[in-house]
Amino acid sequence: MPVSPTTSRRPRSPTGAFGVPRVCSRPPSGRVVDVTDRGPLDGASPALAVALTVRFLAELAVLVGVAVLVSSVTSGWWRWPAAALAVVAVAVLWGRFLSPKAAVAIPPAAALGIEAALFLGTGLGLVLTGRPIPAVIGAVVWALDRLALAILRR
């Protein structure tokens, strides 16, 4: 079969990365154009991509910090279920109000307040339970990342 500019050498899979269906449209030229959404990093500068990756890792770190904090202030058989419930509660709060696709839109100042309360509250709790080094590292990384994102998103 001859290869023309509008056909590919190999049939394309109907799904893109991670099994997500491809979204294609046919412009007037007749060529198929792939308009698959590649996520929040599509078209981002390398610095913004790094800052967003650090933010994601900081979000995971605050979940770990909450688990460590709750498991260190509770005792007995309730220790691990309480830590798991606290992590789920923080994750639901984050997903509901702070994630990029949050179900509830809140003003940026309120989002910053909730985020600061989560990060700084977890840090303070870790300091009070005898873990100051991860608390300070987490708070500093969070603050620097917030600053970097504010500068890079202008």
* Degrees, nearest 5: CA angle 34-37-39: 145
Considering only CA atoms, which of 153, 147, 130, 151 is closest in space to residue 58?
147
Residue 22, exposed/middle/buried by CB under 10 A (0-12, 13-18, 19+)? middle
pLDDT digits (tens, 9 = 90+) for 34-81: 556 566 667 778 999 999 999 999 999 999 999 999 999 999 999 999
pLDDT score for 71: 95
pLDDT score for 43: 72
Question: Mean pLDDT over residues 105-112, rounded?
Answer: 93
Question: What does the block give as tokens for 103?
Answer: 């179900």
In total, the chain counts a number of residues equal to 154
What are the structural domain ranges in the chain?
46-152
Q: What's the mean per-residue pLDDT of the chain?
A: 84
